[in-house]
Amino acid sequence: MNKEKNRIKPIRKKIRDSLSIKLVVLFIMILFLMIPISSIKTLIRERKARRDEAFNEVSSKWGKEQTITGPFLTIPYYKEYEIFNSETKKYDIKKKVQYLNVLPEKLNFSGKIIPEERYRGIFKVIVYQAEINTKGNFVEPFFSEHGIKDKDVIWDKAEVSFKISDFRSLQDEVNMIFDEKEYLFSAGYEGKTGISESVKTSLILDNDKDAWNFDFNLRFDGSSKLFFTPLGEKTKVKLTSTWKDPSFAGNFLPDMRMVSDSGFEANWEVLHLNRPIPQVYKSGLIGEQLLNSYNFGVSLYIPVDHYQKSERTVKYALLFIALTFMAFFSTSTINKVNIHPIQYILIGLALTIFYSLLLSLSEHISFNLSYWISSLSIIFLLGFYSNAIFKNKKFAMMLSGIIFVLYGFIFTLIQLQDFALLVGSIGLFIVVSILMYISLNPSLPPHVVTA
- Quick one: pLDDT at residue 130? 96
pLDDT tier for residue 19 given thresholds of 50, 70 and 90: low
Mean pLDDT, residues 72-88 taken together: 82
The whole-angstrom separation of Cα 258 and Cα 260 is: 7
The whole-angstrom separation of Cα 329 and Cα 22 is: 9
Percent of the chain with pLDDT over 90: 33
Mean pLDDT, residues 372-398 taken together: 86
Which contacts qualify for 380-389: CB closer than 8 Å, 24 or more apart?
A: 381/350, 382/324, 382/347, 382/350, 385/343, 385/346, 385/347, 385/350, 386/328, 386/331, 389/332, 389/337, 389/339, 389/343
Name the residue with higher pLDDT: 90 or 38: 38
Q: Above 90 in pLDDT, residue 177?
A: yes
Check if the beta carbon of residue 166 is closer than 8 Å to that of residue 109: no
Check if the beta carbon of residue 368 is closer than 8 Å to that of residue 356: no
Residue type, position 135, single letter = K
The whole-angstrom separation of Cα 146 and Cα 98 is: 12
Phi, psi of 253 (to 5 degrees): -95, 160
Q: Above 80 in pLDDT, residue 312?
A: yes
- Quick one: pLDDT at residue 4? 52
Mean pLDDT, residues 121-148 taken together: 89
Pairing state of beta strands 106-120 and 234-241? parallel
Residue type, position 203, single letter = L
Q: What is the dihedral of CA 402, 405, 406, 411, to 10 degrees?
A: 160
Q: Helix or strand or coil: residue 304?
A: coil
Q: Helix or strand or coil: residue 76?
A: strand
Q: Which residues pair with 88 in a beta bridge?
A: none
The whole-angstrom separation of Cα 282 and Cα 192 is: 9
Q: Angle of helix 393-415 relative to helix 306-315, nearest 10 degrees? A: 130
The whole-angstrom separation of Cα 96 and Cα 105 is: 28
Average pLDDT, the chain: 83
Mean pLDDT, residues 389-407 taken together: 83
Mean pLDDT, residues 168-186 taken together: 92
Q: Above 60 in pLDDT, residue 13?
A: no
106 Cβ neighbours under 8 A, 6+ residues apart = 136, 137, 232, 233, 234, 236
151: region left, alpha or beta (phi > 0 left; psi from -120 to 50 alpha): alpha
- Quick one: pLDDT at residue 442? 45
Strand ranges inside 243-400, DSSP E: 246-250, 256-260, 263-271, 280-282, 296-300
- Quick one: pLDDT at residue 445? 47
Task: Classify residue 349 by burial, with Cβ atoms within 10 Å: 0-12, 13-18, 19+.
Answer: exposed
